[in-house]
Structure 1
Amino acid sequence: MEDGLRITWIGMAINLLLGLGKVVAGWYLSSKALMADGLHSLIDLLTDVAVIFGLIMARRPEDANHHYGHHKFVSLSKLFIGGALVVFAGGLLVTVLIDLRTGRGAPKAEGAFLVACLSLLAKEGLFWWTRAVARRLKSDLLMANAWHHRMDSISSLGVAVALVAVWIGGADWAFLDGAVTLVLGFYLLLEAFKIFRRACDDLLDAAPEQEIIEDFREHILQVPGALAYHDFRVRRVGDVYEVDLHLQVEPELTVERGHAIAREVKQQMLEMHPEVSKVLIHVEPANDEHIKQSGIFDVENSPPGAIVD
């Protein structure tokens, strides 16, 4: 996770420089779109702080007040990122609508265009770098921050395109400065809502995507002695997953042997999926009382009367 902290600190420094530069340049060059783009970069500072906070807190071990660890601080940080973006995008849309209605002069497009291009290159590079680190660490929080950088680079691209049109067309095309900002505002609002909703799902223990669940399930019945299972549940806790299930074994096995089978199932899942932090297994005898019709069975070794999904 050191790489995750490092790239976030670098992003934080870049956002500070770009944000201040674009706000000052936008004010001096009379470009509302460039100022809005600069404010977006400054808000990115808050989200970078949230990412750093989440990554640091998630590393803390369980304690007397947090029996299940601190991984949900990552989800809390994602909630803050999404919420901050929703507020920013909403305020941006209101401001642009007011400006379009009242009208304003044309921006000094030449200088503003160069600033927007510099921002585009910096933020696009930061997106690819952060995304690579997020994929390597399988960090949903870092991936959210990476797409935050991509949103900023797209914002700068839109601003640059509008400023080129104003540069070439003159005052008659000045409305594009606000029109592009309006389009970008709606896009930012949509992406912010996705991040916010995903964080809410995590905090409310919503099940992850079905393909993730199926990927975890495939390792259970591969273990010798694991005959069936049911009540298989997965939840995302920050950037990791927790799994629990009821595992059926032969009724005649000793407690020690049943425990050994469960331990092997757990080890298989943890070794194949480093993103899984905990696996809780309840061992049951595979008899009529415990076999569930909704369970998953080893067809060849399932007990008599077992119903296979």
Structure 2
Amino acid sequence: MQSLKHTESHKEKKQAAYLSLAIGFLMFFLKITAFIITGSSAILSDAIESIVHIFATSIAFISLLISLRPPDESHPYGHGKIEYFSAGFEGGLIIVAAASIIFFAIEDLIFGVELQKLDLGAYLIFASSVINLGLGLFLVKIGRKTNSLILEADGKHILTDSITSIAVLISIIFVMITEFKLLDPIIAIFVALNIIVTGYKLVRQSFRGLMQERDEELIEKIIPALNELRRDDFIEVHKLRAWSAGNFHYVDFHLIIPSYYSIEESHSIQKYLTESLREKIGTDLQTMIHFDPCKSSHCFYCMKRDCSIRQYEFKFPIEWTKDNCLSEFVVEKVNNNSK
């Protein structure tokens, strides 16, 4: 059943990537035609953005095919990190495109701009903005549904492209009404600045993944799940770490259990927690648990009533809060707080 679900997810990703690439070529054709007809620098900036989209989507599609490969001997943790390379590359291209837009716009501000047949150009840009808006929302939705950073990044890129087109359309209409032609390059500059912000966010997201930055969203899911799965012989969780790479999510933590537990019992706990967390979080979750034996100081916080080595009476359980789970020395901190 899970295998079928994965296959359907991969199929959705590929279909979305094909659609994005095909529409990218259509958008470029519409915008470059509009530029040739009108001579608008704002429309040219929009067309440049479409060229970047085609190039970036091609890279993204190749990256997507690689990221969908299962783990192998050379890549035991899978190929998910290629998504971060792709997102970072696309973010960089967005910034470069925005810089070129600003360059052409400043040139037009200095030397002036000649515009013609703006009504026809407006129709073409309107059509492209509507199509891009629908495609961008679709890709972001599919990207989040399938946990694909590549598709989500591509969708956000296309949404910025749509915003660009809408801003250009508004400027064209305003120029047609007022004949204030310098508005055309001014709008192009403002649009470019907005694009730079989006590019920066994608690059930042890429670096977070490549540097294995802590996944706060995953941690917020893991800690409540661990609390639901807690047993009386699970004394303390500490040194919890969580990060993601594409579709795959990784969690490791230390769990203090009674010191007399055998390897078989530890293995049983590992299996119980791993399978239960996958049911709650998702099948792409990889869990590593380091078991620590309890010490006499843990007796105060151990809820296991029938413990054969108990030296002190139970006082209260250690709360598995985010702060405690991420800490390295929980018992010492609890002891200090209870004094």
Give the structure-2-normalised TM-score: 0.82
* Aligned mates of 1:203, 1:117 — CA distance in 2: 38
1:276 is displaced (CA, Å) by 4.4
C-alpha spacing 1:65/1:212, structure 2 compared with 1 (3 Å): closer
Tell me the secondary structure at the aligned position of residue 225 of structure 2.
coil
- Is 1:85 matched up with 2:91? no
Match status 1:113 vs 2:119:
no
Q: What is the identity, as a one-letter code, of the residue corresponding to 2:262?
A: T
Corresponding residue for 2:6? none
User: SS in structure 1 opposite 2:226?
Assistant: coil
Q: Residue 187 of structure 1 aligns to which amino acid in structure 2?
A: N
Partner of 1:29: 38
* Cα distance in 2, alignment partners of residues 288 and 69 from structure 1: 41
Q: Would you say 1:207 and 2:214 are equivalent positions? A: yes
Counterpart check, 1:39 vs 2:39: no
The CA deviation at 1:23 is 1.2
- Structure 1: unaligned runs, 5 residues or longer: none
Is the 1:208–1:234 Cα contact (8 Å) retained in structure 2?
yes
How far apart are the structure 2 equivalents of 1:46 and 1:278?
34
How has the CA–CA distance of structure 1 residues 203 and 176 changed in structure 2, closer, same or farther, with 3 Å as cutoff?
same
The answer to whether 1:186 aligns with 2:208 is: no
Pairwise CA distance, 1:28? 2.6
Change in CA separation of 1:258 and 1:301 when aligned onto 2, cut-off 3 Å: farther
Q: Number of residue pairs matched?
A: 299
Aligned residue for 2:39, secondary structure, equals coil
Are the counterparts in 1 of residues 241 and 251 from structure 2 also a CA contact under 8 Å? yes
Identical-pair percentage: 22
Alpha carbons of structure 1 residues 258 and 300: separation in structure 2 relative to 1, 3 Å: farther
Alignment partners' CA distance in 1, 2:111 and 2:33? 23
Q: Do structure 1's residue 157 and structure 2's residue 166 form an aligned pair? A: yes
What letter is aligned with 1:102?
Answer: F
Alpha-carbon displacement from aligned partner over 1:109-166 (angstroms, at most 9, x marks no partner): 1111111100111001112221221232132322211111110110010010000011
Do 1:247 and 1:262's aligned partners in 2 also have CA atoms closer than 8 Å? Answer: no
Picking from 76, 79, 96, the partner of 1:70 is: 79
Q: Higher mean Cα deviation, 80-89 or 268-277? A: 268-277
Q: Which SS does the other structure have where 1:241 is aligned?
A: strand
**Counterpart AA for 2:201:** K
For normalisation by structure 1, the TM-score amounts to 0.89
**How much has 1:237 moved relative to structure 2?**
1.0
1:212-223 maps to which residues of 2 (within 5 A)?
212-221=218-227, 222-223=229-230
| Structure 2 match to 1:285 | 293
CA deviation string 1:248-279 (max 9, x = no partner): 11112111112211221111221111274311
Q: Does 1:135 align with 2:135?
A: no
1:146 maps to what in 2?
Answer: 155
Question: Are the structure 2 counterparts of residues 149 and 155 from structure 1 closer, same or farther at C-alpha, using a change threshold of 3 Å?
Answer: same
Moved more, 272-281 or 259-268: 272-281
Pairwise CA distance, 1:187: 0.3
CA distance, structure 1, for counterparts of residue 77 and residue 248 of structure 2: 12
CA distance in 2, matches of 1:47, 1:239: 20
Structure 1 distance, partners of 2:203, 2:171, is 29
* 1:49-89 residue CA offsets vs partner (Å, 9 max, x unmatched): 22222221112122332232211111111111111111111
Which of 274, 277, 280 is the matching residue for 1:269? 277
Task: Indicate if the aligned counterparts of 2:164 and 2:191 stay in contact, CA closer than 8 A.
Answer: yes
Following the alignment from structure 1 to structure 2, what is the Cα–Cα distance between the partners of residues 17 and 129? 17
Q: 1:98 Cα deviation (Å)?
A: 2.1
Contact 2:221 2:281 in 1 (8 A): no
How far off is 1:196 after superposition?
A: 0.6
Q: Which has the larger radius of gyration?
A: 2
1:243–1:276 CA contact under 8 A, matched in 2: no
1:243 pairs with one of 248, 251, 257: 251
Q: 8 Å contact 1:106–1:174 — kept in the other structure?
A: yes
- Structure 2 unaligned regions, length at least 5: 1-9, 304-314, 319-330
Report the equivalent of 2:325: none
Q: Helix, strand or coil for the counterpart of 2:23? A: helix
**RMSD in angstroms over aligned alpha carbons?**
2.2
